[in-house]
Amino acid sequence: MKRIISLAVSLVILAAIYWKIDFSGLIQVFQNCDRTWMAISLGMVIPLIFATSWRLDRLMPPGTALGIGEANRLILASSTLNMILPSKMGDIAKAYFMKERGHLDGSLSLSLVVFEKSCDFLSLLLWCVFGLILYPQKDTLFWVMTVCVVSGFLFFSLLLASRRFARFFFLLAKAIAPRKFRKKLDSLQISWGEMHRYFWQDQRQLQIIALTSILIWLGHLLQIWFFILALNAWTPFLANLALSPLAILAGLLPLTFAGVGTRDAALILFYQPYFDAPTAAALGLLCTSRYLIPAIAGLPFLGQYLSAVRRLQKPLN
């Protein structure tokens, strides 16, 4: 039901967007696109997936072997599941798959996925902070967003780096959260504590994973800039470092289906100084393809994981 509601919200937002913009202009934007840049930008999905697969394999403890091939299948299958299951269940299922196949025990596999997603989120916030600080056209709205993003980056950095702060946060969250969420917070706190114990004991490994995550997200933001070039539009790259992460963050709000709608509206709003609404709407469709292509590529691997997902959902229902 939640997925149906989020899909309905996405459709309503998209209908409002396409009602207001010149739809024939949107078609013309794609007809006049630079096909070379379009192929390059869409093709960047492949190295980005393999870089993410390498990072997942690198995160495995010494003495365990996931392998690039298995890591790649897990990431593609979880991308498919994230499109059809609520609350990023595909990422949770990825931890279950690693446990199911005997790679890791349950709590460590979940902590590994939590750490992976935390690195992704912090890397996105880092580039957003960098771009917003250098962004020249900051009005009141952008100053507010800059303060919020910087505060969020500092908060999540403390949560990831400090055991004491993490313990205080989870105690406070459980004290104010509704009763039905407290069990989930307990599980997350256990995984978070194990993540601290495991990942902070190897500083060199931590630095490699952090640098890899930062470079992966630079690749994602570079891909979005290439999308803009493919549409025969222009935005300074430093401005794109500020604007595209803000649109991605808008898409992470749990309101719509895979961020569709909120991300498109944010792109139209934030890129107004650089190109028109039909071009921004076309950019929104290309940004959606960043999630859709891996999800389609993961379909051949989905069957072998569906039974595990069903077993995972039973105790959650």
Task: Tell me the per-residue pLDDT of 22-68, one tens digit each, with 9 for 90 and over.
Answer: 888 899 999 999 999 999 999 999 999 999 999 998 888 776 767 88
The pLDDT of residue 276: 92
The pLDDT of residue 92: 74
**Residue showing tokens 């912090």:** 122
User: How much is the average pLDDT of 158-174?
Assistant: 88
CA of 10: how far to CAs of 17, 22, 231, 265, 276, in Å?
Answer: 11, 19, 24, 10, 21
Q: What percentage of the chain carries pLDDT values higher than 70?
A: 89
- Is 8's pLDDT higher than 70? yes
Tokens of 196: 């601290």
Tens of pLDDT along 52-63? 999 998 888 776
The pLDDT of residue 308: 58
Q: What percentage of the chain carries pLDDT values higher than 90?
A: 41
Q: At what angle do helices 140-161 and 106-134 cross, to 10 degrees?
A: 150
- Residue 166 to residue 171: CA distance in whole angstroms: 9
- Is 247's pLDDT higher than 50? yes
* HSE-CB of 90 using CA atoms within 13 angstroms: 22
Tens of pLDDT along 295-306? 899 888 877 766
Tens of pLDDT along 196-240? 777 777 788 889 999 999 999 999 999 999 999 999 999 999 999
- Is 130's pLDDT higher than 70? yes
Name, of 41-55, 88-102, 149-163, the range with top average pLDDT: 41-55
DSSP string across 109-154: HHHHHHHHHHHHHHHHHHHHHHHHHH-S---HHHHHHHHHHHHHHH
Return the sign of the alpha-carbon dihedral for residues 185, 187, 188, 189. positive
Return the sign of the alpha-carbon dihedral for residues 214, 220, 221, 226. positive
- Residue 313 to residue 311: CA distance in whole angstroms: 6
**Residue showing tokens 């691997």:** 301
* HSE-CB of 182 using CA atoms within 13 angstroms: 8
- Residue 146 to residue 253: CA distance in whole angstroms: 18
- Is 16's pLDDT higher than 90? no
User: How much is the average pLDDT of 150-169?
Assistant: 90
Check if the beta carbon of residue 239 is closer than 8 Å to that of residue 270. Answer: no
